[in-house]
Amino acid sequence: MCFKEEITKRAKEITEKIVLYLPKEEGYQRTIFSAMNYSIVVGGKRIRPMLMKAVYDMFGGTSDSIYPFMAAIEMIHTYSLVHDDLPAMDNDEYRRGNKTTHAKYGEAMGILAGDALLNYAYEVAIGAFDVDSDNKDSVIRALKVLTQKAGVYGMVGGQVVDVESEKSPESVITREKLDFIYRLKTGALIEASMVIGAVLANASEEDITMVEQIASKIGLAFQIQDDILDVVSTFEELGKPIGSDEKNNKETYVTFEGIEKSREDLKKLTDEAIDMLHSFGKDDKFLEQLFVYLVYRNK
């Protein structure tokens, strides 16, 4: 089986597991259940639960307590996309090849579906205590990681600075601020995914710290590739060569560093992450290939 087929298979298996945690579409509030479920099943690469499970497997985890956390991280990621697509933020009509949640259900339901997914994620993750009552301390620690990385010291914090930088003309974005935004907005959930995999598998403190550092590099590389893809598609649409003087109104890694240096930095970060992965001595080819796939993806 080639790697592309392998990740397609894993993404399908992950979706089958996640849907088991979705609410039933019944009761007076059934519209919210429908909007939540639509947002999740409509698509997505499932890379965060995939990373979580791959790290968990690498450290020899065997309990089913990983599954509620895999569902929870995808719910939190999906809520962030649902809210990011709202008229008050990016105002996007399409996502994952389909209508965005607010475009399909209306703005109020879009807001509520995001709120509901975030809250439900924690309800689901807490269910890990029922699955693995012998591993309570690890479950508590995994919950802490999840809540912190998703919140104001994580993804939400990064989004706040991003929104402020875009909307206010006097807020000048510096390279330092851009790093902050990327580390939190994109990196934090990737870090949460991988660290939770290590924590639930009872990896050593030293290994957990190393996993967080690897995830941080992959998170940044993932976002740099997002910026590169953005620039490439913009220039393709304009029918101009990449790097011609068309000015994008948004500051990104590429506008600061240029396309060549961005590609070099992306490679450097990925190579460093893979070297660190090798230092565990686990010979995990899947995780290594997944890193390469994520940071060199073409969409």
Q: Which of 10, 53, 83, 183 binds ligand GRG (CB under 6 A)?
A: 83
| Spatial CA neighbour of 262 closest among 224, 229, 206, 222 | 224
CB of 32 to ligand GRG, least distance (A): 18
* Interacting residues of 228 by C-beta distance below 8 A, sequence separation 6+: 254, 259, 262, 263, 266
Between 196 and 225, how does the x/- string for binding to ligand GRG read (CB under 6 A)?
Answer: ---------------------------x--
99 sits near ligand GRG (criterion: CB under 6 A): no
The interface region with ligand GRG, picked from 40-48, 54-62, 97-105, 272-280 by CB under 6 A, is: 40-48
- Dihedral angle at the C-alpha atoms of 204, 210, 213, 219, nearest 10 degrees? -80
Q: Which of 103, 116, 121, 155 binds ligand GRG (CB under 6 A)?
A: 155
- 3-state SS, one letter per residue, for 136-159: HHHHHHHHHHHHHHHCCCCHHHHH
DSSP assignment string, 186-243 = IIHHHHHHHHHHHHHTT--HHHHHHHHHHHHHHHHHHHHHHHHHHHHHHHHHHT--TT
179 sits near ligand GRG (criterion: CB under 6 A): no
Which residue's CB is nearer to ligand GRG, number 67 or number 79?
Answer: 79
Which residue's CB is nearer to ligand GRG, number 21 or number 59?
Answer: 21
80 sits near ligand GRG (criterion: CB under 6 A): yes
CB of 281 to ligand GRG, least distance (A): 29
The binding site for ligand GRG (CB under 6 A) comprises 44-45, 47, 80-81, 83-84, 96, 155-156, 159, 185-186, 223, 226
